[in-house]
Amino acid sequence: MSFERALREFELHLSAERAASPETRRAYLSDVRGFGRFLGADARPDAAAAPDVFRWLADLQRRLEPSTVARKLASLRSFYRFLAREGVCSADPTLGIPAPRSPQRLPRPIAVDECEALAEADAPARSAAFPAARLRDRALVELLYGAGLRVGELVSLDVRDADLRRGEVRVWGKGGKERIVPLPGAAREALAAWLGPRQRPGFLAEPLFTSLRPGAGGERRRLSTRDVRRTLARRARRAGVAGRIHPHRLRHSYATHLLDMGADLREIQELLGHASLSTTQKYTGVSAERLLQVYDRAHPRARRRGRREPRGEET
């Protein structure tokens, strides 16, 4: 079996059996296709062996970050597990190969006032699409931060998934898992304002976030993840929020701010749709670091750390 045929069947497996998002499918296929190119035009996936994988990883490590190399190896592992299950390969060449170690990085949340500035940074009034852009983009940011959604979850929502009367949104997460996430008041108000002018028969089945101008067929297309990233970057510039602002930082901010306000870690796990509590626990490191920063700024004894205190009389 050629790599291209194996990839077509792997893509069908990712879509139909694992319910992977389009972004995940593209990443997996790109990673595995890169391995095929490394082996050569006439290479077959069932002919690859562990030394081939080691040589590929060594080549990647000269050019890429360890986290990126680890992701590519994970994609290849999934591909060969699928082929082994289907009987295409008798042995998995990735078996027992360790992933490169990556430095542990804490999430980088945005401050609460910066999140509020992002929500309030309206489109310029001179824009022809000002009213609709203002309503849509504010609702988009309020939902990203107010519900802690992944960008892929956000763009896959339909109008019927947002229940403003009950104040919740139905989300389809990784692996097609459904969860219900409560909406804060600001997100409910922003969504009501965006959806108000769109109410007509059949609109509940439409995408929640769409382009502002209709296409050739008269329909407005569903926003892509790239559209959302561009919108957020524009709003960050208008709001004067420094640094690289992307949708996942709002999700990090959502989780960190909930933890700072006393939310239980298990509850945050449910809200984020994490399969494992260990994934959610990284936010405890962020909050502990923030507490140390507050201590260093505010506590009188913290300012003296490293200085030798004069000894008084013993009592």
Most confident of 71-75, 118-122, 204-208: 71-75
Residue 90 sits at φ, ψ, to 5 deg, of -85, -20
More confident: 300 or 54: 54
Q: Indicate if 23 and 147 belong to the same structural domain.
A: no
Distance CA 85, CA 87 (A): 5
Active-site residue (options: 251, 252, 254, 257): 251
Q: Indicate if 63 and 145 belong to the same structural domain.
A: no
Mean pLDDT of 195-216: 82
Residue 230 resides in a domain: yes
145 is catalytic: no
CATH for 67: 1.10.150
Q: Indicate if 14 and 139 belong to the same structural domain.
A: no
Q: Indicate if 157 and 56 belong to the same structural domain.
A: no
Active-site residue (options: 18, 229, 274, 290): 274
33 is catalytic: no
pLDDT per position as a tens digit, 3-26: 889 999 999 999 888 888 788 889
274 is catalytic: yes
For residue 190, give both structure tokens.
């922003």
5 is catalytic: no
Active-site residue (options: 136, 138, 150, 252): 150
Q: Indicate if 186 and 117 belong to the same structural domain.
A: yes
299 is catalytic: no
More confident: 166 or 298: 166
Active-site residue (options: 160, 166, 248, 266): 248
Residue 117 neighbours by CB under 8 Å, 6+ apart: 239, 240, 241
Q: Indicate if 116 and 81 belong to the same structural domain.
A: no
What is the CA 310 to chain-centroid distance, rounded? 52
Structurally, the chain folds into a number of domains equal to 2
Residue range of the domain that includes 77: 3-85
Does position 129 have pLDDT exceeding 70, yes or no? Answer: no
Cα 161 to Cα 22, 79, 150, 175, 179: the distances in Å are 20, 33, 15, 18, 11
Residue 273 resides in a domain: no
Contact between 235 and 117 under an 8 Å Cβ cutoff? The reply is: no
Mean pLDDT of 260-269: 81
Mean pLDDT of 95-111: 78
Last residue of a domain, one of 191, 218, 245: 245
pLDDT per position as a tens digit, 206-234: 899 998 887 777 778 899 999 999 999 99
150 is catalytic: yes
Q: Indicate if 66 and 117 belong to the same structural domain.
A: no
pLDDT per position as a tens digit, 232-257: 999 999 888 888 899 988 988 888 88
Contact between 46 and 5 under an 8 Å Cβ cutoff? The reply is: no
Does position 285 have pLDDT exceeding 80, yes or no? Answer: no
